């Protein structure tokens, strides 16, 4: 029996056992049904009740390319509705995350480790904000579409556990959606907001109906609380619920897609909800949308105690990589010999992330340093067809075997057929650029031997960063990109586009790294046109690749300066770019009065609130 059939049978068995086995089985049944309804396999991981087991289940299902047909999804949706009526309390309970609680000894150790890295002031300020929350008898509820995934979810998981452990009355709930079309609508909202083509417009009747049902479901939670309750609605999925004057909306994605008619319509619909709350927190820079009067910037932060973000020696990094027997996508060992300069590019394969530009810049750099290697660390699932298109494109451009190129071209055709991309010229363009790339390789150098792709390898990125010369982030659309902050922990400089998402951290040649030339051409021209221009030797794109190569040469020739510039950003991260500060900013917005809210960023609001609390404490002494 294949993975999909096996999983579906398990869910059917759980549904049948709901009457006899109780709440734990209902919990698994609900999340299993949600996995089928949404086509989002992260819900399948939640069925296990164990994070480790759930991750194993998710990995297996993704590798098997599991998906569900319309008939299965409709059955699951109908069954969800049926369960919600038969077992309302248990279904409600399945939407609440069991937050980890650190016992006092473990909590003290954790806070001590934070003090060692961040200093005593940061931890003391955090505890001061927590005491103020408790003194006001405040309850905080985080609302998301899932408990699993990348991006903001790990930050919430870590922070909510800490807040719960220090005594904050806090809960984390998941959106209740027994509707197949809701997830397609949310995908349309997300893609159109960030400027990705999507084959359908949002169905607002579906979106509004789902949020109205959740508002009714969670009204019981609001009504039973004696004190004040504040909801954080993270991202667009749950924000359609009526926001109270104390509630806070949060958006973690870029909004450059709002310049299109469909994106503008989506923004108008969502902003009508966000503007009703106390605050609307968004990424620094914010992209293309019109700011809201209650909008304030909120920069995410990294977990400085996460192993991948802990500095280590080159010797330790080499030992870690060798011990894990890492192989790239061609089953080769990492090229970590010291005779090579080493360059990194990290992220989801995406035309807007600039991986192809990094590759072309690296090719230009090879003209002056043919002892170099480029590592791509690519994070994506095997059902993410848009990411697969970019992944195959990278592999095709560096492949020197005609037979293997043809195999990759077929893989690319299949991936394109599963997207709404309608660019019939793309494969022809890639073929022409591939020929040009092969002709530009220095004599005796095979590009396929100098470019290595590692997929979904996140735990050892810190080790590779310790050995690298720099990493490259040439985004033309970006939410925030925590990798820039994570690499600073290893004193690894960045080469980046001068995009708004980086401007709060990177000061050209002074902090974090260097910007490459970022003309309007780069921000306004799609990747296919850039490749066509590259093949035709157009100055617009060729000059950018030369600038990248020039910056790479500068970093190679000035390693001490490069490390010093990166170390300056590390100091900033330990002050303003860590996840404890991120959660402090959220708490501060909850506590802020009208005067405190005059700051235009959550960071300024935090400073205002802390000053008011400290002044009050001084007056009481």
The band of 37, judged by pLDDT with boundaries at 50, 70 and 90, is confident
Average pLDDT over residues 493-522: 93
Q: How many CB atoms lie within 10 A of CB 117?
A: 16
CB distance 581 to 123 below 8 Å: no
Mean pLDDT of 428-444: 95
Spatial CA neighbour of 273 closest among 243, 233, 295: 243
Average pLDDT over residues 551-568: 98
> Which ranges constitute the DSSP H helices of 227-354?
261-274, 314-323
pTM of the predicted model as reported, rounded to 2 decimal places = 0.88
Do residues 179 and 206 make contact, with C-beta atoms less than 8 angstroms apart?
yes
- The length of the chain is 621
Using alpha carbons only, how large is the chain's radius of gyration in Å? 25
On whether the CB atoms of residues 467 and 342 are closer than 8 A, the answer is yes
pLDDT at position 418? 83
Percent of the chain clearing pLDDT 70 (strictly above): 92
213, 176 Cβ separation under 8 angstroms: yes
Instruction: Give residue 52's pLDDT.
Output: 39
247: nearest Cα among 589, 604, 601, 611 = 589
- pLDDT, residue 493, reads 98
Q: Mean pLDDT score of the chain, rounded to an integer?
A: 88
**Mean pLDDT comparison of 143-152, 373-382, 536-545, highest-scoring range:** 536-545
For helices 385-398 and 426-440, the axis angle rounded to 10 degrees is 30
Instruction: Report DSSP letters for 342-363, one per residue.
Output: EEEEEE---GGGTHHHHHHHHH
> Is the predicted pLDDT of residue 396 greater than 50, yes or no?
yes
Q: Which of 376, 388, 374 is closest to 449 using CA atoms?
A: 374
* Pair of tokens at residue 587: 């708490």
- Over the stretch 209-221, which tens digit does the pLDDT of each residue have? 889 888 888 887 7
Residue 385 to residue 163: CA distance in whole angstroms: 37
Given this model, what pLDDT does residue 293 score? 92
**Looking at per-residue confidence, does 89 or 504 come out higher?**
504
Q: Residues 462-486: what's their mean pLDDT?
A: 93
Task: Give mean pLDDT, residues 7-36.
Answer: 82
What pLDDT is attached to residue 562?
A: 98
Instruction: Check: CB of residue 421 under 8 Å from CB of residue 197.
Output: yes
Distance CA 314, CA 324 (A): 16
Residue 432 — very low, low, confident or very high, per pLDDT cuts 50/70/90?
Answer: very high
- Look at 287 and 589; give whichever has higher pLDDT: 589
Greatest alpha-carbon pair distance for the chain in Å reads: 79
Start-to-end Cα distance in the chain: 71
Structure confidence at residue 54 as a pLDDT band (50, 70, 90): very low
Q: Name the band, by pLDDT with cuts 50, 70 and 90, for residue 71.
A: confident
Cα distances from 341 to residues 101, 173, 336, 366, in angstroms, run 45, 47, 9, 10
pLDDT of 62 above 80: no
The answer to whether residue 255 scores a pLDDT higher than 80 is yes
pLDDT in tens, 288-301: 778 899 999 998 89
pLDDT classification of 45: cutoffs 50, 70, 90: low
What's the pLDDT at 238? 87
Residue 569: the pLDDT is: 98
- Which residues, in sequence order, are bridge partners of residue 341? 372
Task: Read off the pLDDT band of 557 (50, 70, 90).
Answer: very high
**169-182 pLDDT, tens digit each:** 999 998 887 777 88
CB 3 within 8 A of CB 71: no
- C-alpha 97/C-alpha 174 separation (Å) is 8
Determine the Cα–Cα distance for residues 405 and 434; give it in Å rounded to an integer.
Answer: 10
Range from 70-79, 351-360, 459-468 carrying the lowest mean pLDDT: 70-79
Least confident of 146-155, 440-449, 451-460: 146-155
pLDDT at 198: 65
| pLDDT reading at 376 higher than 90 | yes
């Amino acid at each position: 029996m294949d993975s999909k059939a096996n999983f579906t049978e398990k869910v059917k068995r759980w549904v049948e056992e709901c009457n006899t086995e109780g709440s734990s089985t209902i919990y698994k049944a609900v999340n299993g049904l949600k996995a089928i309804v949404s086509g989002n396999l992260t819900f399948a991981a939640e069925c296990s009740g164990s994070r480790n087991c759930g991750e194993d289940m998710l990995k297996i299902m993704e590798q098997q390319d599991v998906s569900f047909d319309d008939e299965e999804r409709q059955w699951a949706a109908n069954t969800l509705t049926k369960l919600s009526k038969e077992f309302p309390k248990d279904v409600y309970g399945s939407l609440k995350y069991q937050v980890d609680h650190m016992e006092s000894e473990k909590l003290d150790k954790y806070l001590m480790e934070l003090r060692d890295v961040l200093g005593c002031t940061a931890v003391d300020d955090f505890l001061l904000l927590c005491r103020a929350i408790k003194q006001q008898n405040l309850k905080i509820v985080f609302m998301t579409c899932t408990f699993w995934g990348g991006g903001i979810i790990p930050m919430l998981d870590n922070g909510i556990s800490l807040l719960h452990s220090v005594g904050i009355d806090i809960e984390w709930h998941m959106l209740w959606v027994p509707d197949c079309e809701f997830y397609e609508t949310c995908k349309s909202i997300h893609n159109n907001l960030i400027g990705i083509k999507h084959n359908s417009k949002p169905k607002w009747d579906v979106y509004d109906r789902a949020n109205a049902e959740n508002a009714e479901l969670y009204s019981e939670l609001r009504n039973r609380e004696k004190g004040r309750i504040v909801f954080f609605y993270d991202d667009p999925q749950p924000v359609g619920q009526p926001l109270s004057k104390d509630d806070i909306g949060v958006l973690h994605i870029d909004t450059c897609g709002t310049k299109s008619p469909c994106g503008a319509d989506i923004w108008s619909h969502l902003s009508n909800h966000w503007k009703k709350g106390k605050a609307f927190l968004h990424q620094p820079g914010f992209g293309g949308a019109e700011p809201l009067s209650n909008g304030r910037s909120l920069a995410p932060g990294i977990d400085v105690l996460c192993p991948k973000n802990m500095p280590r020696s080159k010797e330790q990094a080499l030992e870690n990589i060798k011990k894990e027997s890492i192989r790239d996508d061609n089953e080769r060992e990492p090229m970590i010999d010291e005779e090579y300069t080493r360059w990194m590019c990290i992220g989801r394969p995406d035309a807007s992330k600039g991986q192809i530009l990094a590759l072309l810049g690296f090719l230009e750099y090879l003209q002056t340093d043919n002892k170099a290697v480029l590592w791509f660390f690519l994070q994506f699932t095997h059902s993410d067809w848009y990411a697969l298109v970019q992944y195959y494109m990278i592999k095709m451009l560096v492949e020197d075997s005609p037979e293997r190129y043809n195999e990759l071209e077929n893989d690319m055709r299949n991936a394109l057929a599963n997207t709404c991309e309608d660019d019939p010229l793309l494969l022809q363009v890639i073929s022409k650029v591939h020929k040009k790339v092969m002709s530009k390789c220095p004599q005796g150098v095979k590009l396929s031997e100098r470019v290595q792709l590692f997929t979904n390898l996140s735990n050892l990125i810190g080790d590779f960063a310790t050995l690298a010369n720099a990493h490259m982030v040439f985004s033309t659309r970006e939410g925030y990109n925590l990798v820039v902050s994570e690499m600073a922990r290893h004193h690894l400089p960045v080469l980046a586009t001068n995009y708004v998402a980086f401007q709060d951290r990177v000061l050209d040649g002074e902090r974090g790294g260097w910007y490459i030339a970022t003309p309007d051409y780069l921000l306004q021209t799609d990747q296919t046109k850039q490749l066509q221009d590259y093949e035709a030797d157009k100055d617009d794109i060729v000059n950018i690749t030369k600038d990248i190569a020039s910056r790479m040469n500068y970093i190679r020739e000035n390693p001490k300066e490069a490390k010093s510039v990166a170390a300056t950003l590390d100091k900033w991260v330990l002050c303003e770019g860590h996840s404890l500060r991120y959660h402090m900013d959220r708490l501060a917005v909850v506590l802020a009065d009208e005067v405190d809210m005059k700051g235009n960023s959550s960071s300024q609001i935090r400073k205002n609130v802390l000053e008011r609390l400290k002044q009050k404490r001084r007056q009481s002494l």
